[in-house]
Amino acid sequence: MKKSWTAGAAFLALLGAAGGGAQADPAVSPVQMSQVGFETQGPKTATVPDTSPRPLPWRITDTAGKVVAQGQSKVFGPDAASGHSVHIVDFQSLQTDGQNYRLTVGNHESRPFSILQRPHAALKYDALAYFYQNRAGVPILASHVSRPDLTRAAGHPHEVAACFSGADTAGVIWPGCDYTLDVTGGWYDAGDHGKYVVNGGVSVWMLLNAYERAAALKSPGAAAFADGKVNIPEAGNGVNDLLDEARYEIEFLLKMQVPDGVKLTLPVGTQTPGQPLNLVEVDAGGMVHHKVHDAQWTAIPMAPADDPQPRLLYPPSTAATLNLAAVGAQCARIWREIDPAFARQCLTASQRAFRAALRNRDVRAGEHFAGGGAYGDQDFSDEFYWATAELLATTGNPAYLTALKTSPYFLGGPLSGKSATGDPAWARTAALGSLTLATVPGALSPGDLVTVRANIVAAARSYVQEGYGQGYGLPFAGTDYDWGSNGALMNRAVILASAFDYTGDWNYRNAVIWVLDYLLGRNPLDRSYVTGYGDRPVLNPHHRFWAHQADPAYPLAPAGALSGGPNNRAMSDDVAKNLSGRCAPQTCWADDINAYALNEVAINWNAPLVWVAAFIDDR
């Protein structure tokens, strides 16, 4: 896939690193802005750390040195999230395409930047390529990657896993099960080799929702991932390539379902901290195993094909079961005309899972297993709402609508009072249900459709207001940056973009650009958090194969992977611990492979990046 790179420095750093040479990080710019460029008619904003209490004069010069725009900065002043006192420059009035513009603010000068009709055109494809390159079970082939060093042998090509049995790290004895499941395939979740249903579910949903959104709007973007547009093995099969990539994970999720008639001993109900888990035998048929991963954490670096650890299925949970119920229903309606047999398989699995969740409404995930993440959850009301909404949108069965109306989240948006869903996340999935109800034609009555869209728009309006109060324009007013803050911002951008779809109000689309600008360089670290994009891109994400920092024999990451980003709340790795208490919230980050709490990459962060990049280039 051809890249529209704008920064030669990043490319030279990449080449130097690939050859084993030392990397010289370009100097931090005193003018912080998107390092990818600006849309011709879109917003154009930069932030400049400066303590002057008075506006600073600014000017933009073109390649010939001619002044093409000028004005006065806005004094923002102290900005708690960044730890800086800043000025803001708005140069949206400059709407002439060009390269090598420079912005000078007072005595601060920017790097060269560009103004283009479609500066983000390649991003959706590179962000989607993340998923192919993290496939389990198949080799990653030279014909489908941008560099030869990114090829690798198949990881876990015949993954027949038994259930975990014995003592976990807290001493709880798990009896296991008397069957194995072939769970070959799917995506590796993040920097490790685990595959997690609760994260796979929300990631698949996001990709499929991008498809449903474009189809419902009949927008030009509906053809962005048409068959043959994406460089994956399935290209040319007559099916949209975005759907092909999503199907690779869906087929894995289907394999994680417990056979009918199986009884398992599982933790049911509220558990007392510090006390042994309350394990109860239940009818687990139709439930879904929470995850499959190694018995112990593997070392860095480690190609998946070299993983020496045994692979194990971990006990099913209500959350994982409802993820399959939701995604299976979504799959069924999308593939109904494309592949009826697959659609029926998805719907059957969805309904089996939903019935199993109704029987086992409060089965918690065990959180003391080595070798993988916990992804624990204590409240499944949001997953029930999401799954019920998906089943209603697929089947039209009024019984699902009746059930939905009993949910505290019915027609809620992220901030809508008692029905507030919260922002989308793997542990807060109610917003996904509302987005589906607001997107799929005929899912709701006209009156209910107006209500759910209004609640989503209300949240977006609040996010826009938050952005006006931030020195870096970020539609997030807090100073608590959690693990995966960049992914959380992408999910807010999905809400903002949806509000634009419903209203046509460009303030919402502009706020999506603010988020992209932040991720691509308009931040206090002057860092692009997307690999391969910008003058100072992430080079060393926490990943066992893209591990050049740990061993030069391993590759740098490909373009399009989103770093988890600043985290001042769960600073658990050694790199983060060294920063704790010494960094402003937006600066608690490091480009280090060992900084898993700050610089990991993951499917649930890259999926909304695909969604947003497709939205912003939808024209």
Does the pLDDT value for residue 449 go beyond 50? yes
Using one digit for the tens of pLDDT, what is the confidence trace for 304-328?
999 999 999 999 999 999 999 999 9
For residue 240, the model assigns a pLDDT of: 98
- 267: which strand partners? 279
Quick check: is 600 catalytic? yes
Q: At 174, give phi and psi (nearest 5°).
A: -105, 125
Helix axes 446-468, 485-503, angle to 10 degrees: 130
Q: Of the residues 50, 189, 192, 535, which is catalytic?
A: 192
Does the pLDDT value for residue 136 go beyond 50? yes
Burial class (CB in 10 A: 0-12, 13-18, 19+), 192: buried
Q: Of the residues 591, 592, 617, 618, which is catalytic?
A: 591
What is the Cα–Cα distance from 541 to 561, expressed in whole angstroms? 9
Quick check: is 377 catalytic? no
> Does 384 reside within a domain?
yes
Q: At 97, give phi and psi (nearest 5°).
A: -60, 145
Region 44-72: mean pLDDT is 98
Structure-block tokens of residue 389: 């909404």
Whether the CB-CB separation of 192 and 390 falls below 8 Å is answered with no
Does the pLDDT value for residue 23 go beyond 70? no
Using one digit for the tens of pLDDT, what is the confidence trace for 397-444?
999 999 999 999 999 999 999 999 999 999 999 999 999 999 999 999
The H or E element that residue 59 is part of is strand 57-61
> Does 308 reside within a domain?
yes
What is the Cα–Cα distance from 617 to 37, expressed in whole angstroms? 13
The H or E element that residue 499 is part of is helix 485-503
> Does 403 reside within a domain?
yes
Quick check: is 168 catalytic? no
pTM: 0.96
Using one digit for the tens of pLDDT, what is the confidence trace for 547-576?
999 999 999 999 999 999 999 999 999 999
Does the pLDDT value for residue 6 go beyond 50? no
For residue 22, the model assigns a pLDDT of: 37
Does the pLDDT value for residue 116 go beyond 70? yes
One-letter identity of residue 155: G
Q: Of the residues 84, 289, 542, 548, which is catalytic?
A: 542
- 47: which strand partners? 32, 88
Domains identified in the chain, total number: 1
Number of helices followed by number of strands (H, E) in the chain: 15, 18
Contacts of 22 (CB under 8 A, 6+ apart): 16
> Does 329 reside within a domain?
yes
Q: How far is CA 284 from the centre of its chain?
A: 30
Using one digit for the tens of pLDDT, what is the confidence trace for 153-167?
999 999 999 999 999
- CATH number (domain holding residue 259): 1.50.10.10
Region 242-246: mean pLDDT is 98
> Does 503 reside within a domain?
no
For residue 272, the model assigns a pLDDT of: 84
DSSP secondary-structure letter at 541? -
Using one digit for the tens of pLDDT, what is the confidence trace for 375-401?
999 999 999 999 999 999 999 999 999
Whether the CB-CB separation of 393 and 372 falls below 8 Å is answered with no
Using one digit for the tens of pLDDT, what is the confidence trace for 456-483?
999 999 999 999 999 999 999 999 999 9
- Residue 326 to residues 262, 354, 361: CA-CA distances in angstroms? 22, 8, 15
Q: Can the peptide bond before residue 301 be classed as cis, meaning omega within 30 degrees of 0? A: yes
Does the pLDDT value for residue 2 go beyond 50? no
Residue 488 banded pLDDT, cuts 50, 70, 90: very high
Percent of the chain at pLDDT > 70 equals 96
Residue 24 banded pLDDT, cuts 50, 70, 90: low
Using alpha carbons only, what angle is made at residue 246 by residues 597 and 518, rounded to the nearest 5 degrees? 40
Residues in the chain: 619
What is the Cα–Cα distance from 391 to 174, expressed in whole angstroms? 33
Q: Euclidean distance between the first and final Cα of the chain, in Å?
A: 20
Region 528-546: mean pLDDT is 98
Average per-residue pLDDT in the chain? 95
> Does 333 reside within a domain?
yes
Closest by CA to 255, choosing from 285, 284, 288, 282, is: 288
Using one digit for the tens of pLDDT, what is the confidence trace for 8-18?
334 334 444 43
Quick check: is 383 catalytic? no
Region 339-345: mean pLDDT is 98
Closest by CA to 535, choosing from 7, 113, 79, is: 7
> Does 156 reside within a domain?
yes
What is the Cα–Cα distance from 596 to 542, expressed in whole angstroms? 5
> Does 598 reside within a domain?
no
Give me the domain span that covers residue 408: 137-184+193-444
Q: How far is CA 86 from the centre of its chain?
A: 29
